[in-house]
C-alpha cells in the first residue's frame, strides 16, 4: 500500500513512476478526487457535530430556565439526520478510497529498468560453466519418466493436468533438495518456520495478493480462506498488526511449504514438466529490517540464493526485472535464472524482491526508532529456492549419455550415499 499522504503531496511523481508499471494516470486523479471529497465531508461532519454540541448546551440552558426550546430541538433533529447521512457517505467513500489505493502497485526504485513488458530486463552477472554435452540432451520430464521417478500420467488421472507423482529416488531427490536448502538457509542465519498452509483474507491482503489477484489462487468454498500461493504470505503476516522490537531487527525467516497456484492466464505455457505446476514445493526466505538497511539486505538475499545454485554446480545468471515485469509489491526484483540444456536457455528459479514499506503498510508491521517513533519496517522476500525447478535443472544438467543422472556432490549425503539415478 502506498502512503496516501505521499500521493497527495507528489501526485505528478506518483503518476510518472506508476506509469512505468502500466498504471493510467487517471487512476491517480480518480483516487485523489475520492480522497478530496472524503476529507471535505469529514470537515463538514465535524463542523456540524460541533454545532450540535453547542446547540445542545443551549437547549439545556433554555430548559433549565423553563424557556421554549422547540425550534432548536427541531433544528438539531435535522442536523443529526444530516450528520447520519454524511457519515454513511463517508463510510462508502472510505471503502472506495481504500479499494482504489489497494490496486496501485509499489513505486519502482530509480535503478529498475523501465519497460512495459518483460523485455528489457538487465543482466547483472553470470556464474558457472554450462555443461558441454556430447549428445542431444533430453528434457527433464523425459528423463524423469524414462527413469521411473516422475509420473505425470498418474498425476493427471488423480488430480488433473499440471500435477504429478514423484516416485522412489525422484521423491528422495526432491526431499534431498529442500532439506539441503533449509540447512543452508539456517546456517546463514535464517530461522526455520513451519507455517500454516491455509490463510485468511487479511493475510492475503497484507502481502498484496488481494484484492487484485484472486483469480491466481485456490480458495475454500464458502470460507474466507485461501491455500497459500507461497510461504511469503504466512511468513510476512507472522508480524501483522504488531510492533517488532527494534533490537530484534533484522528478522530472517525461512520455510518449506507447498505452493498452490491456479496459473490463470498461462494456458499453453510449460504444459509438460516441473516448471509450471498447480502444486509445488518451495523454500522461501523473508526478511524484516530497518528502511536504511533494506537495499543491502536485498543484495545479501540475492547472493545467498546464488550460493545455493553455486553449491549445486548449476550455471545461472542474475537479472533485474523491468518495472512492469516485477511483482505488484516489489520496488526492485532480481531474478535468478538457471541454465536448462534441453531448452538451451535460462529459466527462473528464484525472485528476490525488496517491497520497501509496501507490504508493511498493508499489514501494519512497525518498529519504534531510537526516538520512540513508530516506523514501518521494510520487508523482503526471495525463493531459496523453487524445489521442483531445482530438481528439473539437476536432471537436465547432470544427465549422462546413457540416460542416467549423476547426483550433485552436496546432495549425496541427503540421498543416503546414492550417487547416480539409473534405470
Q: Is 383 annotated as ligand-binding? A: yes
Q: Is 232 annotated as ligand-binding? A: yes
Q: Is 156 annotated as ligand-binding? A: no
Radius of gyration of the chain (CA): 27
- CB burial of 19-44 (b: ≥16 within 10 Å; e: otherwise) equals ebbebeeeebeebbebbeebeebeee
Q: Is 406 annotated as ligand-binding? A: no
For helices 387-397 and 169-187, angle between their N-to-C axes, nearest 10 degrees: 110
Q: Is 320 annotated as ligand-binding? A: no
4-103 is a CATH 3.40.190.290 domain = no
Place of cell 530497518: 290
CATH class of 122-421: alpha beta
Which regions of the chain carry the CATH code 3.30.930.10? Answer: 122-421
Which regions of the chain carry the CATH code 1.10.287.40? Answer: 4-103
Place of cell 448546551: 57
Q: Is 263 annotated as ligand-binding? A: yes
Per-residue pLDDT in tens (0 to 9) along the chain, 423 residues: 999 999 999 999 999 999 999 999 999 999 999 999 999 999 999 999 999 999 888 888 888 888 888 888 888 899 999 999 999 999 999 999 999 999 999 999 999 999 988 899 999 999 999 999 999 999 999 999 999 999 999 999 999 999 999 999 999 999 999 999 999 999 999 999 999 999 999 999 999 999 999 999 999 999 999 999 999 999 999 999 999 999 999 999 999 999 999 986 666 778 799 999 999 999 999 999 999 999 999 999 999 999 999 999 999 999 999 999 999 999 999 999 999 999 999 999 999 999 999 999 999 999 999 999 999 999 999 999 999 999 999 999 999 999 999 999 999 999 999 999 999
Q: Is 42 annotated as ligand-binding? A: no
Collect all residues with Cβ–Cβ distance below 8 Å to 142 and sequence separation of at least 6: none
pTM: 0.93
Q: Is 10 annotated as ligand-binding? A: no
Q: Is 381 annotated as ligand-binding? A: yes
Q: Is 261 annotated as ligand-binding? A: yes
Amino acid at each position: 500500500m502506498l502512503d496516501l499522504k505521499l500521493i497527495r503531496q507528489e501526485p505528478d511523481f506518483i503518476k510518472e513512476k506508476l506509469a512505468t508499471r502500466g498504471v493510467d494516470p487517471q487512476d491517480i486523479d480518480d483516487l485523489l478526487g475520492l480522497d478530496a471529497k472524503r476529507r471535505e465531508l469529514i470537515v463538514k461532519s465535524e463542523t456540524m457535530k460541533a454545532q450540535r454540541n453547542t446547540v445542545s448546551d443551549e437547549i439545556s440552558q433554555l430548559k433549565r430556565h423553563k424557556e421554549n426550546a422547540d425550534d432548536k430541538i427541531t433544528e438539531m433533529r435535522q442536523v443529526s439526520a444530516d450528520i447520519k447521512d454524511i457519515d454513511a457517505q463517508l463510510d462508502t467513500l472510505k471503502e472506495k478510497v481504500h479499494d482504489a489505493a489497494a490496486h496501485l502497485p509499489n513505486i519502482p526504485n530509480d535503478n529498475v529498468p523501465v519497460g512495459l513488458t518483460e523485455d528489457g530486463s538487465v543482466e547483472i552477472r553470470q556464474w558457472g560453466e554450462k555443461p558441454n554435452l556430447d549428445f542431444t540432451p533430453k528434457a527433464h520430464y523425459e528423463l524423469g519418466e524414462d527413469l521411473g521417478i516422475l509420473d505425470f500420467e498418474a498425476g493427471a488421472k488423480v488430480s488433473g493436468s499440471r500435477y504429478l507423482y514423484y516416485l522412489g529416488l525422484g521423491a528422495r531427490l526432491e526431499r534431498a533438495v529442500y532439506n539441503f536448502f533449509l540447512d543452508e538457509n539456517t546456517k546463514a542465519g535464517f530461522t526455520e518456520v513451519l507455517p500454516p498452509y491455509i490463510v485468511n483474507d487479511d493475510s492475503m491482503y497484507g502481502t498484496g495478493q488481494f484484492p487484485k489477484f484472486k483469480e491466481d489462487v485456490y480458495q475454500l468454498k464458502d470460507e474466507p480462506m485461501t491455500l497459500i500461493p507461497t510461504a511469503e504470505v504466512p511468513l510476512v503476516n507472522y508480524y501483522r498488526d504488531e510492533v517488532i522490537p527494534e533490537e530484534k531487527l533484522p528478522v530472517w525467516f525461512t520455510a518449506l511449504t507447498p505452493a498452490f497456484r491456479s496459473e490463470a492466464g498461462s494456458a499453453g505455457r510449460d504444459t509438460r514438466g516441473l516448471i509450471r505446476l498447480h502444486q509445488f514445493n518451495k523454500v522461501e526466505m523473508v526478511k524484516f529490517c530497518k528502511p536504511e538497511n533494506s537495499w543491502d539486505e536485498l543484495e545479501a538475499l540475492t547472493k545467498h540464493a546464488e550460493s545455493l545454485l553455486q553449491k549445486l554446480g548449476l550455471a545461472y545468471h542474475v537479472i533485474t526485472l523491468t518495472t512492469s515485469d516485477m511483482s505488484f509489491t516489489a520496488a526492485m526484483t532480481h531474478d535468478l535464472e538457471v541454465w536448462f540444456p534441453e531448452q538451451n536457455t535460462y529459466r527462473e528459479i528464484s525472485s528476490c524482491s525488496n517491497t520497501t514499506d509496501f507490504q508493511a503498510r498493508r499489514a501494519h508491521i512497525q518498529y519504534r526508532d531510537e526516538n520512540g517513533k513508530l516506523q514501518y519496517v521494510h520487508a523482503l522476500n526471495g525463493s531459496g529456492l523453487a524445489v521442483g525447478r531445482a530438481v528439473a535443472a539437476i536432471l537436465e544438467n547432470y544427465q549422462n549419455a546413457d540416460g542416467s543422472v549423476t547426483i550433485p556432490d552436496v546432495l549425496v549425503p541427503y540421498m543416503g550415499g546414492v550417487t547416480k539415478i539409473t534405470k
